[in-house]
Amino acid sequence: MDKLSQITTGKAKSLFSTAHPDQLIMEFRDDTSAFDGKKMEALDNKGNVNNQFNAFVMEFLATKGIETHFIELLSSNESLVKKLDMFPIECVVRNRATGSLCKRLGIEDGLILDPPLFEFFLKDDALGDPLINDHHIVSFGWASQEEADTMRELTLQANDILVNFFSEANLILVDYKLEFGMFQGKMLLADEFTPDGCRLWDKDTLAKMDKDRFRQDLGNVIETYSEVAERLGMQIKLD
């Protein structure tokens, strides 16, 4: 399948149309951004690592009953995906308090959240992706109540699966963000699941093994992503 024209380009990925009207090519670039694009850098091999990492996690989730937009890997940094009608919403689950939650509510960093905390955010860079709730979603028509409920259920269902998945690699799944879209009347998990969109801490040392290494200038970003991939049993191909 060849790329036809570029449909959108985000901070780390670009989407291209294909000869198939229901399928897109998602290209993972080396570009890395944080703080709504204020910090940007290209990191060698990030596109390759994240594309293959995402494929592995999406395929794993599909085996556990979470349907996703992922179809197949096309190259080291490209995947074929279904073309969805996306919700402008980010679904976040937190198993430990850190990041924006601690800033917003003055919560102690690392606090275990039981039950896990679920939050909706509006996907809008210009507004800094504000926290929203079901009422905003329904009143502004970003999704129906039923769709919001399904997004929350699927995100929490994925949490049960992924907490164990990462635990077996001696990692704590601290938090993560998912996005959903509709395909032929069905809600599917979209976008990506990579260390760019989640927080992973080593169980023994609590070392950060995710994009906080980039955000906080901790170094060895791609080496660490690769170590996570290796611990999970992935064999990443680099160009």
Interacting residues toward ligand C5P by CB under 6 A: 90, 92, 99-101, 129, 175-177, 197-199, 211
**Shortest distance (Å) from residue 99 CB to ligand C5P:** 2
For 115, left (φ over 0), alpha (ψ -120 to 50), or beta? Answer: beta
SS3 69: coil
- The span from the CA of 138 to the CA of 100, in Å, is 24
Q: How far is the CB of 131 from ligand C5P (least distance, A)?
A: 9
Choice between 81 and 97, CB closer to ligand C5P = 97
Backbone angles phi, psi at 71, to 5 degrees: -105, -60
The residues pairing with 180 across neighbouring beta strands, listed in sequence order, are: 189
Q: Please report how close the Cβ of residue 109 comes to ligand C5P at its closest, in angstroms.
A: 11
Considering beta carbons, is residue 74 or 148 the nearer one to ligand C5P?
Answer: 148
Q: Can you give 74-133 as a three-state secondary structure string?
A: EECCEEEEECCEECCEEEEEEEECCHHHHHHHCCCCCCEEEEEEEEEEECCHHHCCCEEC
- Which residue's Cβ has the minimum distance to ligand C5P? 99
CB of 102 to ligand C5P, least distance (A): 8
Provide the minimum distance between the beta carbon of 235 and ligand C5P in the complex, in angstroms, as a whole number: 25
Phi, psi (rounded to 5 degrees) for 221: -65, -55
Choice between 82 and 177, CB closer to ligand C5P: 177
DSSP assigned state of 11:
S
Nearer to ligand C5P, 74 or 174 (CB): 174
Smaller CB separation from ligand C5P, 181 or 197: 197
Q: Are 107 and 113 in contact (CB under 8 A)?
A: no
